[in-house]
Structure 1
Amino acid sequence: MSAPRERDLTGLPIFIALVEAGSFTAAAERLGCTKTRVSLQIRQLEERLGATLFQRTTRRVQPTQAGETLYRECRPLLTGLQEALAMAEGDGRQLRGELRLTGPEDYAARVLGPAVVEFGQQHPALRIELRSGDRISDMLEEGIDLAFRLGWLKDSTLRARRLGEFRQYLVASPAYLARHGTPEHPEALAEHAWVAFTPLAAPLTWTFQRGEESCRVQMRARLAANSTAALNALLTAGGGLSVMADVTAEAEMRAGRLVQVLQEWTLPTGGVYAVYPPGRHLPARVRAFMEFFQSWTA
């Protein structure tokens, strides 16, 4: 019986870098090598596998279905191997490599940012990238290790850990309320200017609760915002009423820029989740950050 042929894994880190960078130039810059080397290694890997891993266009290279499958299976394994080697070279506890985090704009600024700085000081060999935005990211496509999401999760392919919950407030600026009056019942909101927050699934439909009484209101909006910062800017400038999460609304209310409206009525609470991409392996750097973050926010 002949011995099994040894696999050459040289091209895998280059393959993963090309998937995440999206171009040969960006992958070469990330790896610190030439575009020619990236192209050669990818071509050799495709020849060995007998499969086309990328679709090439003039602007971007995108993984084929075979490429996506290979990336999904190999990236966690290669990351784990790199971490094991780095820890063996060091003191067994020092984290190395890259950690990519993402979260909603204001949550990233007010909560994640300070936590990342302190965690980074504990692990100076670890490069941490914090991305913020209210758009839901494709974690695999963008190479995200850990995402923080506020609201209600719908993607069943993701693994998530519930960290807590947040309250929602109906708010407006004092100037808006002085000009247009303060609504005394949710039904009156339909006659007011509304600022829609477009990342929400139903930004114009809201259900208010007061004891056993429930009131569902359909708003009309001339203004809309696709980020927390934009929503806050429109509201504080007197653009109308809207709903904001407590992490943003409470700071603005303390500063006197926004006022809570219909305080005796409540809106549904949402969850704060840590979300992992699909796959079997959870890198040590992600586990370490989650342990740190939960104790940091306790």
Structure 2
Amino acid sequence: MPELRDVNLNRLVVFAAVVEAGSLSAAADRLGLAKTMVSTHIQRLEAEVGATLIVRTTRRSNLTEAGRTLYDASRECVRAASDALSAISATSGPLRGTVRVAAPVDYGTLVVAPALAALRCAHPGLDVELVCGDSYVDLVAERIDVAVRLGNLRDSSYRAARLGQYLRWLVASPAFLAGRRLPKSPSGLAEFPFVALSTLAHPYTRSLSDASGQRVTIRCKRAFLANTANACRAATLAGAGFGLLTDFSIGEDLKAGRLVRLFPQWAGEPAAIQAVYPSTRQPSPKIAAVIDALRTHLAKSGSEADQRRVSARRKASGEAPTAARKR
């Protein structure tokens, strides 16, 4: 039976990289080593533990049962050591290294990118990589440090930090509404063409609620189906149908009159915006910095939005701005 003292722990880093990269060549590129050196490390690790860990083919490397057991433990060891090194570095200076962040396309473009840009300006030694996509991201397999997710979490094995929440609003373009008579209640929208997001479990069934707690479910008419939120917004702007779009993505469209909000007292159920990261005792300094940057950006954006709403109300009522009233 192998003992810990018989195993070169440096090889666990190489082993974990091979599993996550999917091949010896890809792991060699990631680690900056020759492929022959990576292969040698794996062979020696297998000799040290007394078991075959990886079955190698010309294209991929597949784990054996023993390999899976060792990888699950190695992954936690490597991550814990990496977090400890980051924590040590953080106490002696600014953040350094690389942080990889994943986010949905629309939220990543509108919110995450500017927040990370501000973080990068504060820490010039930190390299930021933002990966935007509307498909589910495996944090470990894709080496993601933080993923921003909208709605309910699919995997409870990750830790999560709540950033805020968002709503979906009923909207349509003026061109789409021209010549159409709106129904008296949201349920009447079932007869109107609808722009749907295909990545949802039930893209044509939409649930709404109002401030009093009333709820209604609409079975929408098939008209336009797209696989990204950005495409749904574009189609709604172009008049393909009405949409149920996220409030953070259409604020400027409403302000400019490109979209009109339908039944303003109704909205989709509030949904959480969360930053998730692999389970550790505490987030690394880089992860904590990303979460803080996102919260700071959201707080600033919220304050600016509040100021715009107050200004709009004053303008509508004819009330003078604060500075003018003081004079």
TM class by smaller structure: 0.7 to 0.9
Cα 1:87–1:221 change in 2 (3 A) is same
Cα 1:143–1:68 change in 2 (3 A) is farther
Aligned to 2:235: 234
Cα 1:217–1:120 change in 2 (3 A) is same
Cα 1:68–1:139 change in 2 (3 A) is farther
Aligned to 2:199: 199
Aligned to 1:185: 185
Is residue 17 of structure 2 the alignment partner of residue 14 of structure 1?
A: no
Kindly name which structure, 1 or 2, has the bigger radius of gyration based on alpha carbons.
Answer: 2
Deviation at 1:228, TM superposition (A): 1.5
56-65 or 113-122, which moves further after superposition? 56-65
Deviations 1:186-226 (A, max 9, x none): 22221111122122232222222343543221113232111
Give the aligned CA root-mean-square deviation in angstroms. 2.7
Is residue 36 of structure 2 the alignment partner of residue 36 of structure 1?
A: yes
Cα 1:124–1:64 change in 2 (3 A) is farther
Deviations 1:53-92 (A, max 9, x none): 3354444334455444444433343244345456757872
Deviations 1:166-197 (A, max 9, x none): 12101122222225443432222211111221
Aligned to 1:132: 132
Counterpart Cα distance in 2 of 1:141 and 1:46? 22
CA contact (8 A) 1:72 1:279 kept: no
Aligned-pair identity in percent equals 39
Deviations 1:75-130 (A, max 9, x none): 34324434545675787233333322111111111111111122123333333221
CA contact (8 A) 1:98 1:129 kept: yes
CA contact (8 A) 2:46 2:52 kept: yes
| Residue ranges of structure 1 left out of the alignment (5+ in a row) | none
Aligned to 2:322: none
Deviation at 1:8, TM superposition (A): 0.8
Cα 1:127–1:174 change in 2 (3 A) is same
Cα 1:7–1:57 change in 2 (3 A) is closer
CA contact (8 A) 1:169 1:243 kept: yes
CA contact (8 A) 1:73 1:279 kept: no
Task: Trace 1:250-261 onto structure 2 (pairs within 5 A).
Answer: 250-261=251-262
Counterpart Cα distance in 1 of 2:297 and 2:43? 46
Counterpart Cα distance in 1 of 2:271 and 2:87? 38
Counterpart Cα distance in 1 of 2:36 and 2:19? 16
Cα 1:291–1:20 change in 2 (3 A) is same
Aligned to 1:283: 284
* Paired amino acid for 1:225: A
Cα 1:244–1:57 change in 2 (3 A) is farther
Task: Find the residue that maps to 1:170 and give its secondary structure.
Answer: strand
Task: Find the residue that maps to 1:195 and give its secondary structure.
Answer: strand
51-60 or 261-270, which moves further after superposition? 51-60
* Paired amino acid for 1:121: C
83-92 or 272-281, which moves further after superposition? 83-92
Q: What TM-score do you get using the length of structure 2 for normalisation?
A: 0.79
Aligned to 2:325: none
Cα 1:206–1:81 change in 2 (3 A) is same
Cα 1:233–1:57 change in 2 (3 A) is farther
